[in-house]
Structure 1
Amino acid sequence: MTRVRILLGAASVALLLIVGFAVVRNVLHTGEPRAADCAAKVVAARGIVGSEKEAFLRDARVRQIFRCAGLDLRIDPSGSREMVAAMRNGTQRYDFAFPSSTPTARKIMELSHVTEAVRPFSSVMAVATFTDTAAVLRANGVIKKVGGSDVILVQKLIDLARSGTRWRQLAGNQDSPNGNVVLMRTTDPADSNSAIMFLSIVSAVLNGDQPIAGTDALGKVMPDLCRLMSYQGQKPNTSEVLFGEYVTDGPSRTPMALVYESQYLDQASPEQVPDDGKHVMLFPSPTVYAWHTLLPFTDAGRTVGRLLRDDAELKDIAARYGFRPEGRALPDRPHPPVVVEPPDYPVLETMLDQLGGFNQETGKCAR
């Protein structure tokens, strides 16, 4: 009888150990925090955010981390100009704003009288293209090595647009079905921050690789800006649409697209660049960093910013979405060799107001 009790007791202990191991293993495997570690009360934290961060902020793991901290994260995706327009009407609806560039962040800080800002991660503007396209561009002097890295020379693209050179007119590319002028495709600057970054890059090149310092200097750069935007025809409203066209339509329609580096390197979203050896990402020379800057309006917004800045798991997830978390070394991601700063928001705003079609006879913007 004693022997039976000992055996039953040993079996019970073994079963408890097995169940306990399974529970611990499940927690470790799923990465979900234990309920005991989470806040008992959850409040909403609503933010207006750049659309390129939407997939990251809607990720179930991200939402769970915020919920565990007592926040139900709610977001309204928005373009840069739309975000600024919303902030002109006050910040009452939101706990934070999360734009994608320094000029937009500074403008919102001015409108909302906010002095706090958190920059949890960044992305670099990059060119998504194709290996065959890159070979043609390299043969025609558009791609060169700078600082040991192949880059796309923006000045060369400006020169090709000025001369009206078409893709099929490039040396070694006579059989191309693409009869359009050689251009880097962008989004619509009226709606999208990534196109505004394109204007920042080109205007700096036209200004001796320096950002335009005031609206008085715009006269010398606007004709080329109007040409480069007008020659594209209809443009996507968001960087997500442009990136989708690059992935699905191929080099005939979108041989070069200005995208966020994070989109190209994203390993978490459903839409990813095929690993087929036919696609390649290069930095334009120069390029700009897109600093994703969170501006808190309430205590809930401050908590969102603190978690994005300090939480190690959120940094890991952000890196998988292709972003560059602050303070996180990413050895597999080289720094672009030539970087410029974007102009201040008032200059960009005036630039956008003056942007229009291009009159080939006068060589000026047509409004």
Structure 2
Amino acid sequence: MSVAGRPTIEEPRLTTRQVRRRRVPRHVVVALPLALAGLISLMVSGNAFRPFERITTLEARMASKSDFFRDPEVQRLLLEHGLRVDIHRLGSRGIATQSLKGMDVVFPSGQPAAKLVLDRQERSVRSVRPFVTPLVLGTFRDYADTLVKAGVATPQQAPDGGPTLYYNLDMRAFMGLLDGRAGEKTTADQDGDGTLEGADTWNGIGFDQAGGRSNSGRVLVRTSSVCESNSAGTYLSLLAFVANRNSTPGTQNVNDPQLARDAVTDLAAKIRPLINLQGMWADEQADSYLSDLGESIAPISLIYEHQYLAHQIAYQDTHGRQDIERVLLYPTPYALTEPQLISLTDEGDRLVRLVEQDEELRDRAIELGFRVRFNGEDGTSERLNTYLRDHGIQVPVPNRDETKSYEPDLNVLERIINYVGSCPPPAQDTP
């Protein structure tokens, strides 16, 4: 109604604004169940709070077996247990004779160096020998076939009748090529007079008689330094064992100490030229041998079996076939090395327990070519052999001659090493 002719003004009406709710994006809805399932899985496995856990870094000195701890998969497995290993690379004997201050664990590649480390400890230590690996000579097919023609090596038969990867090496006959003197009659003795023309050179034993290749250099084995390396020390023990008529040095004349010392010195003087001719290299031999220039660096290199097998496994994965140019010489008598992981601190004890007990770490060691220790006599090699067969890699066959080279008593071995290598005195731990 209007009053006195004035129009009526209606009261303003308030309207409520409707707020439109945003919908959750469809891709989020789809992904939500998966994310929830992942979170549940992490919580069940105990890994949900892994990023917030404390990672302990262990200081470690290791020799060639650092290959195991440098492997990315092994590092990942250790991180799952809150451990990281900072590796300081050094030869096994160098580990044993130098200061260990600040180290949590050490991993020498053989028992002589491990005993030197253990003898220096004032605390009760925890240790484990997780695997074994034979000492071998890495070479190339043409050189191995030359040794076969010279009568010092024998090829193992490949199961498919193809080129073999492995040869057995008669160490006594082979040492006759290393000593720098004309040896007994071999197939390279063309005139039958019992001497070799140009003896102890590769061409002198027939390398240049096939394939148009030539090498007038000496027949040598490239080794690490005996003052630093377990492999070189083990090789030295092998030479001494053979030179001592397959008898461990230091086991004769035990009732006459002076006569025993003189016998060891005479033996060391006899084998010293076989080592000194190598040049006393101190670097890691497998790295050079397995490089693209390996054959030009050295025809024969002293390595461990696991290094060669790891190369063949990786080569098969990459190329779908074996590397048939690189081959192994298995010496007879043979030498087996037992690396020992030794804890020096409470934190180091954690790593030793883990390596000793964790199945995933053991499985990974097999994939890296190691003969892992298991319960039972056959467990050490059978798991590795099965893995090699499954990956199309020839399995090495043990020589029927099962003569094993035993390392001498530690004091005797140290005397031989110091005589051959003229090694510096060991460093002392500072308080």
Instruction: Assess same fold via TM > 0.5.
Output: yes
* Alignment of structure 1 residues 1-367 onto 2, 5 Å: 15-18=31-34, 34-36=47-49, 40-50=53-63, 52-86=64-98, 89=99, 91-113=100-122, 114=124, 116-144=126-154, 150-162=167-179, 163=181, 164-171=199-206, 173-174=208-209, 176-213=213-250, 216=261, 217-232=263-278, 234-240=279-285, 243-245=287-289, 247-251=291-295, 253-267=297-311, 275-327=322-374, 329-331=383-385, 332=388, 333-334=395-396, 336-337=398-399, 338=402, 339-355=404-420
SS of residue paired to 2:115: helix
Instruction: Say whether the 8 Å CA contact 1:161–1:183 is kept in structure 2.
Output: yes
AA matched with 1:290: T
Q: What is the CA–CA distance in structure 2 between the aligned matches of 1:165 and 1:304, rounded to whole Å?
A: 48
SS of residue paired to 2:351: helix
Q: Relative to structure 1, is the Cα distance of residues 224 and 271 closer, same or farther in structure 2, using a 3 angstrom cutoff?
A: farther
* CA radius of gyration, larger in: 2
Q: What is the CA–CA distance in structure 2 between the aligned matches of 1:249 and 1:286, rounded to whole Å?
A: 30
**Percent of counterpart pairs with the same letter?**
26
Q: What is the CA–CA distance in structure 1 between the aligned matches of 2:145 and 2:312, rounded to whole Å?
A: 29
AA matched with 1:130: F
Give the deviation of 1:106 after TM superposition.
1.1
SS of residue paired to 1:248: coil
Instruction: Say whether the 8 Å CA contact 2:146–2:206 is kept in structure 1.
Output: yes
Q: What is the CA–CA distance in structure 2 between the aligned matches of 1:253 and 1:37, rounded to whole Å?
A: 46
Q: What is the CA–CA distance in structure 2 between the aligned matches of 1:341 and 1:299, rounded to whole Å?
A: 33
The one-character-per-residue Cα deviations of 1:30-78 (angstroms, maximum 9, x if unpaired) are xx9834468833333222211x123431333323322332323222221
Q: What is the CA–CA distance in structure 2 between the aligned matches of 1:221 and 1:48, rounded to whole Å?
A: 32
Q: What is the CA–CA distance in structure 2 between the aligned matches of 1:11 and 1:323, rounded to whole Å?
A: 47
Partner of 2:161: none
Q: Relative to structure 1, is the Cα distance of residues 297 and 11 closer, same or farther in structure 2, using a 3 angstrom cutoff?
A: closer
Give the deviation of 1:142 after TM superposition.
0.9
Instruction: Say whether the 8 Å CA contact 2:171–2:242 is kept in structure 1.
Output: yes
Q: Between 175-184 and 252-261, report the one with greater CA deviation.
A: 175-184
Q: Relative to structure 1, is the Cα distance of residues 268 and 252 closer, same or farther in structure 2, using a 3 angstrom cutoff?
A: closer
Structure 2: stretches of 5+ with no match in the other structure: 1-23, 159-165, 182-198, 252-259, 375-379, 389-394, 423-431
AA matched with 2:271: L
Q: What is the CA–CA distance in structure 1 between the aligned matches of 2:328 and 2:303, rounded to whole Å?
A: 9
SS of residue paired to 2:338: strand
Instruction: Say whether the 8 Å CA contact 2:268–2:420 is kept in structure 1.
Output: yes
Instruction: Say whether the 8 Å CA contact 1:99–1:292 is kept in structure 2.
Output: yes
The one-character-per-residue Cα deviations of 1:64-108 (angstroms, maximum 9, x if unpaired) are 32233232322222112321222xx4x541222211001111111
Q: What is the CA–CA distance in structure 2 between the aligned matches of 1:220 and 1:55, rounded to whole Å?
A: 37
SS of residue paired to 1:132: helix
Structure 1: stretches of 5+ with no match in the other structure: 1-7, 358-367
Q: What is the CA–CA distance in structure 2 between the aligned matches of 1:172 and 1:92, rounded to whole Å?
A: 50
Q: Relative to structure 1, is the Cα distance of residues 354 and 12 closer, same or farther in structure 2, using a 3 angstrom cutoff?
A: closer
SS of residue paired to 1:186: coil
AA matched with 2:78: F
What root-mean-square deviation, in Å, do the aligned CA atoms of Structure 1 and Structure 2 show? Answer: 3.6
The one-character-per-residue Cα deviations of 1:299-327 (angstroms, maximum 9, x if unpaired) are 22111111112212212322233222212
Higher strand share: 1
AA matched with 2:121: S
Instruction: Say whether the 8 Å CA contact 1:126–1:281 is kept in structure 2.
Output: yes
Instruction: Say whether the 8 Å CA contact 2:250–2:264 is kept in structure 1.
Output: no
Q: What is the CA–CA distance in structure 2 between the aligned matches of 1:193 and 1:119, rounded to whole Å?
A: 15
SS of residue paired to 1:266: helix
Q: What is the CA–CA distance in structure 1 between the aligned matches of 2:217 and 2:338, rounded to whole Å?
A: 33
Q: Relative to structure 1, is the Cα distance of residues 147 and 269 closer, same or farther in structure 2, using a 3 angstrom cutoff?
A: closer
